[in-house]
Amino acid sequence: MPGAPWKNGRGCAVSDAGRLTPGQAILLALVLGYLGLILVVPLAAMAIRGLEAGPGVLLEVFADPAAREGLRLTLILALIALIGNGLFGVAAGLVLVRHRFLGRRLLDTLVDLPLAVSPVMTGLAFLLLYGRGGWLEPWLAWAGIKVGFAFPGLVLATLFVTFPFTLREVAYVLIELGTDEEEAAVTLGASPWQTFRLVTFPNIRFGLGYGLVLTLARALGEFGAVLVIGGAISGQTQTATTFIYNALEERQEAAAYGMALILAAASVLFLLALEWIKRQRGKEK
């Protein structure tokens, strides 16, 4: 019958193409309205405001030494997070999925802690540990190492807030794959390294790529933790995001919009990269 629901390959009821029941129409309107209010409208407003200011805002960013230094520092932190948590994510994913040991479930829970804890609280925790009067501050001072309001503090904060992404993506893929191919390789005489290089890594490469893109995006957009532990000192610990914050505080709106447009353009590239990875992964299935 026209308009009668049919079942898709998964057994779910679906109405005829192009036709929605009143309930479906209401649900769709609610979803689109929520997405528009929370995501689309704010981002569109920022993009429009930046475009209204003209290309001069980008020139102003690159002409400002503090802005250039903030962008350079953000890129360095993102690269460190990409390498550090890329390696850690693969190793930890293998440990959590392929090994059984006492405390594994606790470790598996702790991995998601950065997703549950506020970045501001993260920065404060590092400050209480490494900052002035912190628990480790006497030993750090004796060794001549400064963490709070310095570059090492920014590195620690960025690594903390970004480390679950690659690990989780790799772990999901490893769970989905199972161990059949790896066990077959071992049976044929492959060493652990050969098994990883020839079997495991090719199978997890898209999951790894997806996790690395998410890690990079999170590192570039981090604000709260680096603000607290670093103090947003111009030319020293001021990142791209804290530069936007300081520029707005000082009513330098053009510079703030210019930096925001640069980060927004990077976000678009990340979305395109994620979509490409999804398609490539889908082709292999």
**For the segment 5-17, what is each residue's pLDDT rounded down to a tens digit?**
445 444 444 455 5
Specify the pLDDT at position 2.
Answer: 45
**Radius of gyration of the chain from its Cα atoms, rounded to whole angstroms:** 23
Specify the pLDDT at position 265.
Answer: 86
Specify the pLDDT at position 18.
Answer: 60
With 0-12 CB in 10 A as exposed, 13-18 as middle and 19+ as buried, what is 236? Answer: middle
Q: Which amino acid is located at 117 in the chain?
A: V
Specify the pLDDT at position 173.
Answer: 94
Q: Which amino acid is located at 47 in the chain?
A: A
Q: What percent of the chain has pLDDT over 70?
A: 92
Cβ proximity of 21 and 15 under 8 Å: yes
**What's the mean pLDDT in 26-34?**
94
Q: How many residues does the chain have?
A: 285
Q: What is the pLDDT of residues 65-122, one digit of tens each?
A: 999 999 999 999 999 999 999 999 999 999 999 999 998 999 999 999 999 999 999 9
| 219 Cβ contact list (under 8 Å, min separation 6) | 74, 77, 78, 81, 82, 158, 161, 162
Tokens of 152: 């090492």
Q: What is the pLDDT of residues 132-184, one digit of tens each?
A: 888 998 899 899 999 999 999 999 999 999 999 999 999 999 999 999 999 99
Specify the pLDDT at position 46.
Answer: 77
